[in-house]
Amino acid sequence: MAAPTHEKSEMQHDVDHWVNRVNHVAKDHSGITNPTGTAPWYSSFFGCFDPVDTCLVTCCCPCITFGKTHHRLNKDGDLIGYNVVNASCLGWWAVSCFGGHCIPNLLQRHEIRERSQPNLQGNFVTDFLKEKEAQHLLSIEKKDVTMQQPGKPVGMTYGPQ
């Protein structure tokens, strides 16, 4: 019989990340109450149609784009080790079954804003309103920000898709 391993699975790391993220946002209200940042988001609000393949994937299966953005932010900017079936994607899908898709999107957008220098424009209220009305456009926008050099979040590297 094999000895039990104490290493956490990739899925468990993702689950732990989201639990910690929720706890962080719940304890630190500055992300909700602070005024907006000064730097514009790297891609325009309607820049989601380029590339078309990302636009189609995000419209049909937004959890995939959400999972890719999470992987770029927290693991590897070049998507090394990325798997389409991951805890972030599955968690987004599960929450969206109950109409709560904007919650993980808001958390991810807040994380991108926290890690960018200078701070990107927006706050909780504007993000919430945008997420409710144009969730697919914003998912592509978040993916674009994590792929670009100017204003990229700390600890990320640019790489091909």
Segment 63-118, tens digit of pLDDT: 898 899 899 888 888 888 888 889 999 999 999 899 888 888 888 888 887 777 66
Predicted confidence (pLDDT) at residue 157 exceeds the cutoff of 50: no
Segment 108-122, tens digit of pLDDT: 888 887 777 667 777
Domains of the chain, by residue range, sit at 46-161
Q: 108 and 70 in contact (C-beta within 8 Å)? A: yes
Predicted confidence (pLDDT) at residue 142 exceeds the cutoff of 70: no
Which bin fits 44, alpha (ψ -120 to 50), beta or left (φ > 0)? beta
